[in-house]
Amino acid sequence: MKILFTGANGFLGSAIVHLAVTHGISVMATDQTESHRFTNVDFIPANILDPNSLSKAFQGVDGVCHVAGLAHIFDKARILRAPFHSVNVMGTENVANAAIRAGVQHFVFISSVSVYGGVEQDRAEDSECHPEGPYAESKWQAERSLIELFQKEGVNLTILRLATLYGEEDPGNVARLIRAIERGRFVWIGQGNNLKSLLHREDAARACIAVLKSPASGINIYNVSAPPCKMHDIVAEIAHAWGRPVPSWHVPASLASNSTQLLKRIAFNRSRLSNVHDTLEKWLADDYYNTDKFWRAFNFQTKINLEEGIRREVDWLRRTQK
């Protein structure tokens, strides 16, 4: 079985490709850049926004793991200009249509738990989705488009809604938090007793390989995450990995929330200040997901615990900062 992996040079894509090779999977890797980091892997550069560039990559392919996408943009001005819909929806549709033309029978789509939106706890795959923001909305639209297309064409589809990823080469929020603590720019808001879902990229790669090696028929959606952990424990592990004391100065959650709510009103919900309250509410909220369905289907358990995962990411940051 030969599997095409899009976004192969990326944070998650590279980890999946490396693991696929160790599992004896025949790999066709693609990314929009000409260069790549792999040995003994077939690689063809292709842009998912250019359908013509995809055709060669699909030759002899039996399955697809679509990892390519746009994420990790944090500045509000850039978020509003970023082509989330073009890349994450239209690009995904281009890959899906190329897969259909190539006769692919199993398509794995890397999505995100962000499609749920809101602050409900322990959300499962049948929970209603109310995505918030361009990234989450684009992932949700891509899911809907794939389901409609593959149901009509009779192609098996697996959607993996991954929790917040972290690990070596992390371009996301966990890396930003790690750097803030290392630079002494972190201040506690609340006590950190709320629960968060994280997933090390190595475990995310293992989940993808499990699905590719035992493909299910029909349309299947799964949450994938490590067991939830307290925000206090995440911060403590980061501080310990840097060899620093755990930050102890706390701003009461109610005071911070009321203050940022006032800022939002003063800014008429239009300026950068208006985002502070929403960001704070997300920080204070419980944010975890039910993964029972995936564990039952694939007998899957994560291997990288919080302590090891944070230590490995901090070690990587130390090396890159030298």
Amino acid at 160: L
Distance, C-alpha 185 to centroid of its chain: 25
* Distant-in-sequence, close-in-space partners of 182: CB < 8 Å, separation ≥ 6: 242, 244, 314, 317
CB 11 within 8 A of CB 165: yes
State yes or no: pLDDT of 268 exceeds 60.
no
Q: In the 8-state DSSP scheme, what is residue 116?
A: G
Closest Cα partner for 195 from 160, 216, 219, 164?
164
CB 91 within 8 A of CB 48: yes
Q: How far apart are CA 226 and CA 162, in angstroms?
A: 10
In 113-261 the beta strands, taken as DSSP E runs, fall at 156-162, 164-166, 188-189, 195-196, 198-200, 219-224, 229-230, 250-251
Q: How far apart are CA 146 and CA 88, in angstroms?
A: 12
DSSP, collapsed to helix, strand or coil, labels residue 179 as helix
Please report, for residues 8, 63, 219, the alpha-carbon distance to residue 33 in angstroms, rounded to integers and kept in the order given: 10, 22, 31
List phi, psi (to 5°) of 205.
Answer: -65, -40
**More confident call, 278 vs 314:** 314
Tens digit of pLDDT for each residue in 36-83?
888 889 999 999 999 999 989 999 999 999 999 999 887 767 777 889
Average pLDDT value over all residues in the chain: 89
Amino acid at 302: T
Tens digit of pLDDT for each residue in 231-254?
999 999 999 999 999 887 767 666
Amino acid at 80: L
DSSP, collapsed to helix, strand or coil, labels residue 74 as coil
All domains of the chain in start order, with CATH: 2-170+196-228+288-304 (3.40.50.720)
Closest Cα partner for 287 from 203, 224, 195?
195
Closest Cα partner for 28 from 90, 100, 93, 99?
99
Tens digit of pLDDT for each residue in 152-198?
999 999 999 999 999 999 999 999 999 999 998 888 888 888 899 99
CB 257 within 8 A of CB 162: no
Note the pTM of the prediction, 2 decimals: 0.91
pLDDT band (50, 70, 90) for residue 266: low
For 113, the token pair is 């738990």
The per-residue pLDDT for 34 is 83
Q: How far apart are CA 142 and CA 115, in angstroms?
A: 10
pLDDT band (50, 70, 90) for residue 257: low
Rg of the Cα atoms in the chain: 20
